[in-house]
Amino acid sequence: MKIISVHEGVVPISSSIRNAWIDFSSMDCSIVAVVSDVMRDGEPVVGYGFNSNGRYSAGEILRRRIIPRLLDAEPESLLSEDGQLDPTRAWDFVMKNEKPGGHGERSVAVGVMDMALFDLASKIAEQPLYRWLSDRHGDGTPDEKVFVYAAGGYYAPGKTLRDLQDEMKRFLDQGYSVVKMKIGGTDLHQDLARIEAVIEVLDGDASRLAVDVNGRFDLATALEYGRAIEPYGLFWYEEVGDPLDYQLNATLSEHYRGPIATGENLFSLQDARNLIRYGGMRPDRDYIQVDPALSYGLTEYLRIQDMLKQHGWSSRRCIPHGGHQFSLHIAAALKLGGNESYPGEFQPTGGFADGAVVQDSYVGLTDTPGIGFESKAAFYKVLRELHT
Ligand SMILES: O=C([O-])CC(=O)C(=O)O
Ligand SMILES: [Mg+2]
């Protein structure tokens, strides 16, 4: 098996929504296609990848560093002993001459490439990624369905409390029982009114509502909001301070008794390990949200899972950020706690297979080989145009 060519492009995923830190008016996303010399039905088998959401396209790094290094690698050096493509072997090549630390846009570029290689490897094996992955890196018995919660509840121009409630009702109608909303983008008084409006839609059951600060608060505000929302008994209190301020998180966890979730802006094994070492995260209740697509791909995510195990953490405490098909497969294969979903945002890249049905906040996977982009018509059209 040889890589014939790699194609890279950009797709807009912009919208008028806003969280406590950014708006998404110019959000875009890198996409890649890795064309192999393996032929099926007269066409080459192609692996696809994209970079989740929340970080912009990383085309410059892909074009100048990651893609040339991948193409320079001897084809045999990417294969395992049994002659099959092993995406984890690409890592050392694409990271050649890269210093440690400073993880960010580079981890995004590598993540896109890594996703495409895992899509390709499982397609060549004619297996959906979650089975392929479970056989090689899991226990061979993947979960057949994955817990998903509906993320939304953004700030948007002119959005009223009623609009927020209607959005949450739509999520419930679509089969989700846990929902997430943004906070920290206005004052505490207004956020409490927003939270209570959503709790009303949940028939008073606040344990089905997560709130997300997107890293906005300093310690005093984190504690002030914590005191105000703790009595509700929320599903989780997310990314409360700067993602790298481990001390803030540790202090918060001494005061806030409910679950805390964070990690979507930690992009490496080392950053995730520092969170576990210094962030005060509690393995009996808290959640790790590292997004494999943003953080050097599944290759690095497997290392993060090993690290968590060494620290006594269950994989069930991981619910990745991103709401995409790649993490859905990873969640099923590695027996994570679930996966995010954005029923209303980040198209055409985000979300699951067309026609995927969510029931009681669980979604199943399909038998489509690879990640299953082919079962997501609007996105597949964009991906195919990259190389045809
Ligand atoms: O608003 C965003 O950037 C997305 C986010 O934090 C999440 O999905 O948890
Ligand atoms: Mg978040």
Q: What residue segments make up the domains of the chain, in order of their start? A: 3-126, 136-385
Helix axes 129-137, 325-334, angle to 10 degrees: 40
Ligand 2 centroid to Cα of residue 354, in Å, is 24
Residue 99 marked in a binding site: yes
Q: Model-level pTM?
A: 0.98
List pLDDT tens digits, range 51-106: 999 999 999 999 999 999 999 999 999 999 999 999 999 999 999 999 999 998 99
Token pair for 151: 């993320």
Strand-pairing partners, residue 3, are 36
Predicted ipTM of the assembly = 0.99
Q: Give me the pLDDT at residue 105, please.
A: 94
pLDDT tens for 170-213 read 999 999 999 999 999 999 999 999 999 999 999 999 999 999 99
Per-residue pLDDT tens digits for 242-285: 999 999 999 999 999 999 999 999 999 999 999 999 999 999 99
Ligand sitting nearest the alpha carbon of 152: 1
Nearest-CA neighbor of 366 among 335, 337, 328, 315? Answer: 328
- According to DSSP, the residues that pair with 46 across neighbouring strands are 35
Tell me the pLDDT band of 388, cut-offs 50, 70 and 90.
very high
Ligand 1 neighbours (beta carbon < 6 A):
19, 54, 151, 212, 214, 264, 321, 340
- 66 CA from centroid of ligand 2 (Å): 27
Average of per-residue pLDDT values in the chain: 97
Ligand number with the minimum distance to the CA of 52: 1
81 labelled ligand-binding: no
Catalytic residue numbers, as ranges: 182, 321
Asked, colleague to colleague, whether 3-126 and 136-385 share their fold, the answer is no
Structure tokens at 194: 């927003």
Instruction: Tell me the C-alpha distance between 263 and 242, whole Å.
Output: 10
Task: Return the residue whose CA atom lies nearest to atom 9 of ligand 1.
Answer: 321
Nearest CA to ligand 1 atom 3: 54
Burial class of residue 56 (count of CB atoms within 10 Å of its CB; 0-12, 13-18, 19+): middle
Question: Is pLDDT of 339 > 90?
Answer: yes
What per-residue confidence (pLDDT) applies to 344? 82
Which residue out of 154, 260, 321, 339 has the highest number of ligand 1 atoms within 8 Å of its CB and is therefore the one to mutate? 321
Q: Is the peptide bond before 259 cis (omega within 30 degrees of 0)?
A: no
Tokens at residue 50, please?
Answer: 């994209």
DSSP structure class, residue 258: S
Of all ligands present, the nearest one to the C-alpha of 153 is 1
- Contacting residues for 64 by C-beta, under 8 A, at least 6 apart: none
pLDDT tens digits, one per residue of 314-334: 999 999 999 999 999 999 999
Query: What gap in Å lies between CA 240 and CA 260, rounded to an integer?
Result: 8
Give me the CATH topology for the region 3-126.
Enolase-like; domain 1 (3.30.390)
Give SS3 for 283: coil
- Provide, rounded to the nearest whole percent, the portion of the chain with pLDDT above 70: 100
As a residue count, the chain comes to 388
In terms of DSSP H, where are the helices of 146-268?
161-173, 188-201, 219-229, 246-255
- Ligand 1 atom index nearest CA of 19: 1
Cβ atoms of 155 and 216 closer than 8 Å: no
CATH number listed for the domain at residues 136-385 = 3.20.20.120
